[in-house]
Amino acid sequence: MANQTIRLVQVTDCHLQNDPTQLYRHHDVESQLDQMLAHLSTELPAETLLLLTGDNVHHGGVDAYKRLVEKIDVVPFDAVWIPGNHDDLAIMRACGGALNRKVILLKGWCLILLDSTSEPDGKGSGSLGSKELEFLQQALQQNVDKHCLIVLHHNPLSVESGWQDSIMLADAEQFWQTLAPFDHIRGLICGHVHQEWHWQWNGVDVMSCPSSSVQFKKRCDDMTLEDDPELQAPAYRLLELLEYGDISSQVKRVNLVDN
């Protein structure tokens, strides 16, 4: 019998600059992403699906998106992306092609990819908004015979951090209300917080992922960069979606080599 396991890798918050030589919070995020993608290309099987979960580019520059697409074209994986609060959705749609898919069906699973950049507050928060919530509801209704994984950028649960909780998913209450009637949701992944979290919501795994760029220290009232050497490295999340609806997941870090 064929292996029904689906392998995913989440890479998030790359914050590529329009000028590849420009640093982001003193980090060479261009080199860090290149090293991460090279690492993944040698470590993971080609049938892995790469999920880029927002803040792919820092200021929405077209040159950065073009470079990112070129990087993705070289890796052996199929890939999709969603926008974060730093992204320019119009440019993503124009240059992303198949990266812009919203629903992916794989071996009895349904992946629903959401845009949480509606109604930005200019500080980092974002919402799904009524149209995206309606899309989510319809996608869940149309795939009740499948296990569902939901993918979005903004965290819909508190990370116990004053500055980050103020810019989490602004319409989280409406989001959870939309999910409440459905019992085939198995997991949810997000980016945005530059930290690893694993919560449970009504028996559903809810997971965030550290970034490929810089990490933020947990439980701080003000923005604070991570100072623990073991938590500073770029990271990604591996997920295995199993045949009967279980999810196996772990966060792994990349050892950087100075150029």
pLDDT for position 130 = 98
Q: What is the pTM of this model?
A: 0.97
Residue 133 makes CB contacts below 8 A (sequence gap 6+) with 171, 174, 175, 178
**pLDDT at residue 35 above 90?**
yes
**pLDDT at residue 2 above 60?**
no
49: left (phi over 0), alpha (psi -120 to 50) or beta: beta
- d(C-alpha 238, C-alpha 226), whole Å: 22
Report which secondary-structure segment, H or E, holds 136.
helix 129-142
Backbone angles phi, psi at 137, to 5 degrees: -60, -45
Report the percent of the chain where pLDDT is more than 90: 94
pLDDT for position 1 = 42
**pLDDT at residue 149 above 90?**
yes
- d(C-alpha 147, C-alpha 159), whole Å: 26
Domains and CATH numbers, the chain: 6-253 (3.60.21.10)
Determine how many CB atoms are found less than 10 A away from the CB of residue 116: 31
- Give residue 4's identity as a one-letter amino acid code: Q
Average pLDDT (179-189) is: 97
Average pLDDT (198-205) is: 94
Would you give the DSSP letter of residue 217? P
Strand partners, 190: 208
pLDDT per residue as tens digits for the range 42-67: 999 999 999 999 999 998 789 999 99
pLDDT for position 59 = 84
Report which secondary-structure segment, H or E, holds 52.
strand 49-53
- Strand, coil or helix: 110: strand
pLDDT per residue as tens digits for the range 105-116: 999 999 999 999
- Residue carrying structure tokens 């604070």: 224
- Residue carrying structure tokens 């623990």: 228
pLDDT tier for residue 3 given thresholds of 50, 70 and 90: confident
Average pLDDT (76-93) is: 97
Question: Do β-strands 6-11 and 49-53 pair in parallel, antiparallel, or remain unpaired?
Answer: parallel
pLDDT for position 4 = 86
- Mean of the per-residue pLDDT values for the chain? 96
- Residue carrying structure tokens 């992916």: 104
Count of residues making up the chain? 259
- Give residue 175's identity as a one-letter amino acid code: F
Report which secondary-structure segment, H or E, holds 112.
strand 109-113
- CB distance 24 to 58 below 8 Å: yes
- Residue carrying structure tokens 């070289």: 74
Query: Which of 2-11, 13-22, 39-48, 124-133 is predicted with the least confidence, judged by mean pLDDT?
Result: 2-11
pLDDT for position 257 = 86
Report which secondary-structure segment, H or E, holds 31.
helix 29-43
Residue 116 tokens read as 């949480």
Q: Could you give the dihedral angle defined by the CA atoms of residues 66, 235, 58 and 227, in that order, rounded to the nearest 10 degrees?
A: -150
Determine how many CB atoms are found less than 10 A away from the CB of residue 142: 11
Closest CA to 226 of 199, 256, 198, 194: 194
